[in-house]
Homo-oligomer: A and B are copies of this chain.
Amino acid sequence: MSAVQDLPTPALVVDTAAFEHNLAAMAAALPGDRCRPHVKAHKTTALARAQATRGHRTFTCATPREMEGMANAGLGDDLLLANEVVDPDRLRRLAALDARVTIAVDSEATIDAAARAGLREVVIDVFVGMPRCGCRAEEAGRLADAARARGLVVRGVMGYEGHVVGVHDRATRVEQTEAAMLQLLDAHADVGGELVSGGGTGTFDINTWVTEIQAGSYALMDTAYGHLDLPFELALSIVATVISVSESWAVADCGLKALGMDHGDPTVIGHTVWYCSDEHVTFGPETPVAVGDRVRVLPAHIDPTVAYHERMHLATDDDVVDTWEIDLRGW
């Protein structure tokens, strides 16, 4: 068994206590199929298997490769690709998987692509306030009819309130989630089917209108979600090595190629971040540091951070107890 202290850096490290707490908290709040964990946040079949052990056997994916990897890992009981794809080759590969595959559609073109590829099940993706994919609620019934006319089974609707999940004030989050979900329920009234899928880590206990929550970040968390009033703990950090120290600042080997930067700078625990460059984080030490010291870096946004790394290490205190390949990267 190796020690966190000896890992080559930068190294993604998962604190097992916080991780187990997060999985248990979600499994208690949304048992079984009430949570359809989103694998895009961690891209790791071993982590998905831990979620399955907690009772969640349905999963959400963002890319065809995530779907294929989950199916090939034996986690294909019920996989939802919560994204639109029109690439015929990829869609045919999805149709050929030994898994239950459902894909989001939001237009005649995506329905046509799914039907041509031999896919069998879809959900109608509905716009509920965030300008991204999704048809307007009033078009959902027509698209469901069009899909059924092409021989597809329409399992229901999905709509992601991505504009709400990060809202700090809980009362506002509740209000905006309701407004979004009433649109989704309108669509569902026209579409039918057993699934009303939506939500995320930020609305997992607020969004009571859906039949299932697509939460991803809850398992590992990040500083952006950490600012909300959620019962999940920061389980993931990046261990970095101090490589240079001068009078006013120090530098560790965790740069912006090891971090998603769209939510801004990371946090270096116990110190003050100045800025990141490709391979470095420059920080103001709040206590003296020396070359060779280790520091802990907390990413602002977990999804694009994990996507840069090849593996994550599970650590109990300073002992590395397992290492998981991040095997769902790419498209």
Residue positions of A touching B, CB distance < 8 A: 8-10, 40, 62-63, 83-87, 89-90, 106-107, 109-110, 127, 131-136, 162, 241, 243-246, 248-249, 251, 253, 256-258, 260-262, 274, 276-280, 282, 290-292, 303-304, 307-308, 310, 330-331
A107 to B131 Cα, complex, angstroms:
51
A310 CB contacts on chain B under 8 angstroms: 330
- Say whether B278 contacts A8, CB under 8 Å: no
Question: How many copies of this chain does one complex carry?
Answer: 2
Contacting pair A83 B127 (CB below 8 A): no
Whether B291 lies near A241 (C-beta < 8 A) is: no
Top 10 A-B pairs ranked by shortest CB distance?
A109-B291, A133-B244, A84-B243, A261-B262, A257-B307, A256-B262, A62-B279, A261-B261, A131-B249, A278-B303
Chain B proximity of A277: nearest CB distance (Å): 7
Indicate which residue in B135, B278, B282 contacts A40 across the interface (CB closer than 8 Å): B278
Contact: A8 with B89, CB < 8 Å? yes
Q: How far is the CB of A248 from chain B (nearest CB, A)?
A: 7
The CA-CA distance from A79 to B307 in the complex, in Å, is 28
Judge whether B304 and A106 touch: CB under 8 Å: no
Partner of A87 from B241, B246, B257, B279 at Cβ < 8 Å: B241
From A109, A243, A251, name the one whose CB has the most chain B CB atoms within 10 angstroms: A243
Contacts of A262 in B (CB 8 A): 256, 261, 276
